């Protein structure tokens, strides 16, 4: 199971090992050193909900049963190809969601456009 920053860790549980890269400038272990954005290709979304489970601050279902990204204000972005910046506290969860997505439809890219996770990474 992935690392979930949106959910408090169980007391007494060992700290998870960093999943990705070196520490970020703010000192969080395993966070990418740069900002990332995420988008979902709804044509490939299976509606499984793994992404919503991993990072509910970033992903949400719409009435069509498919997952979409949410902006920092929590507004669902339903336009095709809509991408949002991932809050630092959610980066590992979003990367885990992209890696585990059964539809392989979550695209995570660095600020320079380099694929970080998902089908193009």
CA nearest to 100, candidates 24, 65, 57, 49 = 49
Residue 93 to residues 33, 63, 107, Cα–Cα distance (Å): 15, 23, 13
Q: Is 105 contained in some domain?
A: yes
Q: Is 26 contained in some domain?
A: no
User: How much is the pTM?
Assistant: 0.73
Domain residues for the domain of 87 are: 36-117
Q: Is 83 contained in some domain?
A: yes
pLDDT in tens, the chain (121 residues): 444 444 444 455 444 433 333 334 444 445 455 799 999 999 999 999 999 999 999 999 999 999 999 999 999 999 999 999 999 999 999 999 999 999 999 999 999 999 999 999 9
85-101 core/surface letters (b: 16 or more CB in 10 A; e: else)? ebbbebbbbbbbbbbbb
Structural domain count, the chain: 1
Q: Is 52 contained in some domain?
A: yes
DSSP tag of 45:
-
Q: Is 23 contained in some domain?
A: no
Give residue for tokens 């991932």.
86
Dist CA 79 CA 93 (whole Å): 23
CATH number of domain containing 57? 3.30.70.20
Q: Is 89 contained in some domain?
A: yes
Q: Is 79 contained in some domain?
A: yes
Helices (H), 4-101: 50-54, 91-100
Dist CA 106 CA 25 (whole Å): 25
Q: Is 3 contained in some domain?
A: no
């Amino acid at each position: 199971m992935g690392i979930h920053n949106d959910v408090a860790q169980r007391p007494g549980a060992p700290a998870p090992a960093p999943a990705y890269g070196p520490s970020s400038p703010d000192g969080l272990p395993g966070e990418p050193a740069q900002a990332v954005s995420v988008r979902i290709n709804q044509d490939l979304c299976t509606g499984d909900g793994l992404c919503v489970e991993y990072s509910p601050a970033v992903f949400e279902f719409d009435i069509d049963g498919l997952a979409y990204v949410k902006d920092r204000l929590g507004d669902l972005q339903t336009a095709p190809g809509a991408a949002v910046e991932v809050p630092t506290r959610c980066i590992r969860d979003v990367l885990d969601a992209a890696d585990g997505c059964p539809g392989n439809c979550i695209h995570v890219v660095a600020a320079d456009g380099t694929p970080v996770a998902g089908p193009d990474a």
